[in-house]
A and B are shown apart, each in its own frame.
Chain A
């Protein structure tokens, strides 16, 4: 099945823990993105990567970290430094070549602090 896969769908974190959200794609797209969604806030960009071994901070990168060791994978770690991590996290991919350039989204991971 082609596309973009996020896992897990639900994740619970204790105070002070780091957790890692997975994002995998098999569409061979170069660009990958992590967004955070809170009610009424829309999508806020956390990190993005245009190419393997390179990534850039978005608007709300503090308390998060990423890696891009493979083209197919762009995991997001929510560290203990993120004081309000409860949110819905969305991973997206996009072609960087010619064409419509629309983004494709995963189904999201809902992270809850317990």
Chain B
């Protein structure tokens, strides 16, 4: 079946790197996504990675995918207070119409 797991909280100091981890169970996932949710708002797509890639970099964001361990991570370099939000990992399984989300990781950035 499909299941996506994340830790619930992460606290970092401003300027440090943040690493948010996610594990998934369905090996047939075609795309994996990271979404960001700011307080009182909907989710916005932050970045994504295709399942045949190991790494994707986009400015301060680095996504690492370990297909063998079914592990996905999001690294945010030079974390700022504006990065404080909930981050959701999600997978899209080929042929499935229902995106599956993790429970979300609350990132707290303190001075």
Q: Which A residues contact B (CB, under 8 angstroms)?
A: 6, 31, 33, 40-43, 45, 48, 50, 58, 90, 92, 94, 96, 100-108, 110
Q: Which of A43, A58, A94 has the most CB of B within 10 A?
A: A43
Classify chain B's interface size: 20 to 34
For residue B24, which residues in chain A have a CB less than 8 angstroms away from its CB? none
For residue B92, which residues in chain A have a CB less than 8 angstroms away from its CB? 100-102
A48 to chain B, nearest CB (A): 6
A70 to chain B, nearest CB (A): 19
Among A33, A41, A100, A107, point to the contact of B103 (Cβ < 8 A): A41
Task: Describe B's contact surface by its main secondary structure.
Answer: strand
Q: A103-B45, A105-B44 are in contact. List 16 more A-B contacts (CB 8 A).
A: A42-B101, A42-B102, A45-B98, A90-B42, A90-B43, A96-B97, A100-B31, A100-B48, A100-B92, A101-B99, A102-B33, A103-B90, A107-B41, A107-B42, A108-B40, A108-B42
Q: Which B residues contact A (CB, under 8 angstroms)?
A: 8, 30-31, 33, 35, 40-45, 48, 88, 90, 92, 97-99, 101-104
| Alpha-carbon separation in the docked complex, A46 to B44 (Å) | 20
| Alpha-carbon separation in the docked complex, A94 to B21 (Å) | 25
| Alpha-carbon separation in the docked complex, A45 to B96 (Å) | 14
| Alpha-carbon separation in the docked complex, A102 to B44 (Å) | 10
For residue B102, which residues in chain A have a CB less than 8 angstroms away from its CB? 42
Contact indicator A105/B8 (Cβ below 8 Å): no
Chain B residue nearest to A96 (CB atoms) is B97
Among A94, A100, A104, point to the contact of B97 (Cβ < 8 A): A94
Among A31, A48, A58, A102, point to the contact of B48 (Cβ < 8 A): A102
